[in-house]
A = this chain, B = another copy of it.
């Protein structure tokens, strides 16, 4: 029997999805599973956008342009006006989800063995895509204790060497829910320019800022040769399954490379693009309604979590995630236990163990990521269920032990 590639064996399973077999087993046993593990919003996809799919009159579902339908690219460029991004149609590449945009950004910017600096914890699939493209991630630790604030430029600079090609940020942050401010970004820009790096920023959560304004790196016109933005309709328009994302850059030379990679896979999905086009109609009202809902959920989640003894969390600023520290020695083991050996009134909870969001798995060992993507009532029930689970978990650590550590 021929052997898999080494890279195929080595690549890690998604921490967001790797416990799915346990969840499926739990469901097969009749338990209800509250999914706080995945960023799948329960908000309705814009009804008018779905209606537009239902009224499509085409008779051949044909290949489209590699960079996406011009009508969609134009709408995306216009949408960015509110972020002072000053985009042309040509700057927007439609991709098959943000996932593909991440991969294309990595291969277009970086060669094998090149390095990308990413504050950690980070969205786990950055690790997978860098592995797939043989790019090395240099993680820069951020810390639970200060809400995962952006490290100083000097901390970034300490990691820069001759192989460094880019700094990669997620703003607002998944899995941390942090929001980088304009002044912080400006300081980083100076560094990016000094070392002639790309600055790749995943901004898919930009519409979910609750206390402070969002700054897109596309606003910095002087940085236009350096900036690559990753975007998606998945979260903003609750359309995860449509698989429509964007890679945005004003760097003409980089556009040429991205176009060639885009040609390889011929075109992005047609139906998703038509859905996306319709999403941009009356988007402001839809988005604000969703934002208000997430503000309520953030409160509900935070208040409920505060009541669990031994659990530590902070009040996230943006996106719909936060990281909690649990009073358990191994959060992944606890997450499996909740699915396999626990139930509370027929319910249990699925969380994403946070070690998958760290390159140093030890740091995140007692942490989990929660996505507040259920309605307030379900969130309450889920956290209540989690509280009971933690109270009854055989390996729960005592407060005395935790304080010693």
Contact = CB atoms under 8 A, between A and B. Distances in A.
B59 A264 contact: no
A38 interface: yes
A402 interface: no
Interface in A235-278: 238-243, 251, 253-254, 256-261, 263-272, 275
Given A63-B240, A271-B242, A100 B4 contact: no
Given A1-B225, A50-B61, A261 B44 contact: no
A107 B61 contact: no
A397 interface: no
A97 B265 contact: yes
Interface stretch (A110-118, A207-215, A281-289, A315-323): A110-118
Interface stretch (A124-132, A136-144, A148-156): A124-132
B196 A1 contact: yes
Interface stretch (A6-14, A72-80, A85-93, A325-333): A6-14
Contacts of A12: 260
A267 B125 CA distance: 13
A17 B66 contact: yes
Interface residues of A, number: 85
Interface string A289-320: 00000000000000000000000000000000
A405 B14 CA distance: 58
A54 interface: yes
A30 interface: no
A60 to B, nearest CB: 5
A369 interface: no
A266 to B, nearest CB: 6
B2 A96 contact: no
A18 B12 CA distance: 36
Contacts of A334: none
Interface in A340-378: none
Contact of A225 (B2, B112, B261): B2
Given A99-B265, A261-B8, A197 B2 contact: yes
Given A45-B60, A56-B53, A243-B269, A6 B275 contact: no
Nearest to A197: B2
Contacts of A2: 109, 165-166, 196-198, 225-226, 251
Given A61-B50, A238-B61, A257 B11 contact: yes
10 smallest beta-carbon distances between A and B, as pairs: A8-B257, A241-B270, A271-B271, A99-B265, A269-B269, A14-B263, A1-B225, A128-B264, A8-B108, A61-B241
12 contacts: A2-B109, A2-B196, A5-B114, A13-B259, A14-B260, A50-B58, A54-B55, A63-B241, A96-B96, A128-B261, A241-B271, A243-B267
